Amino acid sequence: MHKIALVLAFSLLLTLPPAWGAPKDADTNIKPAVLTTREQRKLNSKLSEVTKDEEIKEAIKIMDNCISSRYSYNAILGNNLTKKPVKITFKNLAEINPNYADYDALGMKNKGRLYIFINQKHKGAPPEALASLLSHEAMHQDEFNSVNEETYAWSLEAAVWTEFLKTNPDLRKKTEYSLVNRLNTLNSLFVNANYTDKYIRKVIKNHQGYKDLPLRSVGFD
């Protein structure tokens, strides 16, 4: 049985509890870790198991330098319920299902392997934007989904983008990319709601794309 978790391309109202991601007053000016030659080779080998796309590799690498995305970073490299690296690629999502043509990404589990397909329209987007999107999708690791799980995943995506904006505010100006526009909306609502999740939960519960989801799923009680 396939599990498909969709990142809908519609504008959703998203906010975040302070417990998820970096505290709003935290020092997010984290310097990238300096890897030894051996560590770099090991990382490159793991990334090659995840994707052949250099843009995606770059996005994954910077996830390790962001407090909010480190769990997702490790999950992508294999520290997830399958114990295998997640396979990630850009794809025309309409080839999977015409109804998915305008979605931003989807996650799928098939034969014990997790897959993330990013809409090919986002190829060329800033790596920080792709990293934010991947942080969301890496939360989906089994055959189940729920309102609570989507609330957490969308909120984590908002937290990651907010953290990147703290270190590089000019990212907000890259509005030629649709993914950046979406993430800017998440950031505005996240900050204006004082870092709570009440709006995202309300929108997900009332959104047609999530209307059949149960409230809870494994790990998201």
pLDDT (tens digit per residue) in 123-162: 999 999 999 999 999 999 988 899 999 989 989 999 999 9
- Strand 105-110 relative to strand 87-91, pairing: unpaired
Token pair recorded at residue 33: 């870790």
Percent pLDDT > 90 in the chain is: 63
Residue 71 CA to residue 134 CA, distance in Å, equals 11
Global pTM value? 0.85
**The pLDDT of residue 94 is above 50:** yes
Sheet containing strand 3-7, strands side by side: 3-7, 105-110, 113-119, 87-91
pLDDT (tens digit per residue) in 159-195: 999 999 999 999 999 999 999 999 998 888 788 888 8
SS3 136: helix
Interior/surface letters 52-75, b for 16+ CB within 10 angstroms, e for the rest: ebebbbebbbbbbbbbbbebbbeb
Average pLDDT over residues 53-70: 96
SS3 220: strand
**The pLDDT of residue 218 is above 80:** yes
Task: Tell me which residue has tokens 């090659």.
Answer: 48
- The pair phi, psi for residue 125, each rounded to 5°, is -65, 155
Find all residues with CB under 8 Å of 210, minimum gap 6, and list them. Answer: 147, 150, 204
In this predicted structure, which of 52-56, 73-77, 185-189 has the lowest mean pLDDT? 185-189
**The pLDDT of residue 67 is above 90:** yes
CA 210 from centroid of its chain's CA atoms: 18
| Nearest in space to 152 (alpha carbons), one of 163, 141, 143 | 141
**The pLDDT of residue 45 is above 90:** yes
